[in-house]
Structure 1
């Protein structure tokens, strides 16, 4: 493997078509497509200031690097990436990519990141700002996520998420086959129009959660006081270890909770309209 160290490049495509290359303490200055159409690339302790540095790259490692604001849209149409201990201040990262492994990464402008990516394995990721991270992604395993981005995980399929703290709105919309463990989900309109969404040991806050959901499962979850008008037109099986402020027109299934504030079963409820609402003492059913 060829090694290039302690230097800088700028302009258009300075390392275009490189293969079997290791960059150590290299700065990519203003310009475009510095490392395009490449394979087997390692970047260690590097800084990226120019646009689109890693496009159409196959097999690469990015370790202890920094992407400045100018390094936007840096990782597109590539595969087999391992990124470790890296900070990213630029938006629109990770598009149309496959086989991504990430550990200890912080993204400070998470606008439109991770779009149409497949097979992601992520540990300890922080997302700040921006909208629509993980749009249309498939086959994700994430352990450790902190995010205040808006509209996270829309149209995602096959996600397993552990130890997350997500503060947002419209999270997990139109998802399919998603399981979330031991996490805190704060925001409005959680999980609408989802299919096969399962929440285990989760703390949930925000208005109108989990409506229009199909095959929704909650296990050992808790609801904050602002979780009102929950479960409208959803099919579900739920065990909630807290009071539920209000429930509105669930479609079918069962809910077991510590108590209920308001139960709305009005003329707008849809068939089969047979969801059972129970208390933990197993003696009281509000829909018998």
Structure 2
């Protein structure tokens, strides 16, 4: 493996089609596609300032690096990435990728990040300004995670999340096969139009959660006082260890909670209209 240390590059494609390359304390200045069409790249302590540095790359390790704002859209159309201890200030990272592992990574401007990606693992990752995060991605495992940003995880499939704090309006819309354990989910309109969404030991807040959901499961969850008009037109099996402010027209299944502020079953309820709404010890 060729070792390059302490050098600076800029302009168009300075390291195009490189293979078996170890970069240490290297700076990529303004320009485009510094490491396009590469394989087996390791970058340690490097600084990326130019656009699109890693496109069409197969097999790369990024450790203790910085992607500045100018390094926008830095990792697209690539495979088999391992990134650790890195700060990503650049927006629109990770598109059309297969095989991503991020650990101890911070992304303070995560808007439109992680689109159309497959086989993704995140651990000890923190993201902010993350509107439209994880669009149309699948096979995702997340642990010890903090997120602020709306419209996240839309159209995702096969997701498992543990020990997370997710502040996101419209999270998990149109998802399929998502399970969330031991997490806080904050934001309006959670989980609409989802299929096989399962929440275990979660704290839920925000208006009108979990509507239009198919095969929704809640196990040992709590709901904040602002969770009104919940479960509209959903098929649901829910055990809620708190009061529920209001339930509106669940379609089928059962809901058990400590108490209900209001239960709305009106002429607009949809068939089979047989959801059992109960309290504990009843």
Same fold, TM-score > 0.5, yes or no: yes
Structure 1 residues 162-197: Cα deviation after superposition (integer angstroms, max 9, x where no partner):
011011100000000000000000000000000000
Q: Could you say what secondary structure the match of 1:37 adopts?
A: coil
**In structure 1, what is the Cα distance between the partners aligned to 2:168 and 2:211?**
16
* Structure 2 residue aligned with 1:43: 43
* Structure 1 residue aligned with 2:93: 93
Structure 1 residue 120, shift from structure 2 partner: 0.5
Structure 1 residue 70, shift from structure 2 partner: 0.1
Structure 1 residue 144, shift from structure 2 partner: 1.4
Structure 1 residue 122, shift from structure 2 partner: 1.2
Structure with bigger strand share is 1
Moved over 6 A (4+): none
* Structure 2 residue aligned with 1:70: 70
* Structure 2 residue aligned with 1:207: 207
* Structure 1 residue aligned with 2:127: 127
Structure 1 residue 14, shift from structure 2 partner: 0.1
For the 8 Å contact 2:130–2:152, the answer to whether it is kept is no
Structure 1 residue 130, shift from structure 2 partner: 3.6
Q: Could you say what secondary structure the match of 2:271 adopts?
A: coil
**Structure 1, unaligned runs of 5 or more:** 284-288
Give the CA RMSD over aligned residues: 0.5
**In structure 2, what is the Cα distance between the partners aligned to 1:271 and 1:150?**
32
**In structure 2, what is the Cα distance between the partners aligned to 1:225 and 1:20?**
56
* Structure 1 residue aligned with 2:279: 279
- Pairing 1:1-288 to 2, within 5 Å after superposition: 1-281=1-281, 283=282
For the 8 Å contact 2:130–2:147, the answer to whether it is kept is no
**In structure 2, what is the Cα distance between the partners aligned to 1:3 and 1:30?**
22
**In structure 2, what is the Cα distance between the partners aligned to 1:189 and 1:130?**
17
* Structure 2 residue aligned with 1:286: none
TM-score if structure 1 supplies the norm length?
0.97
**Structure 2, unaligned runs of 5 or more:** none
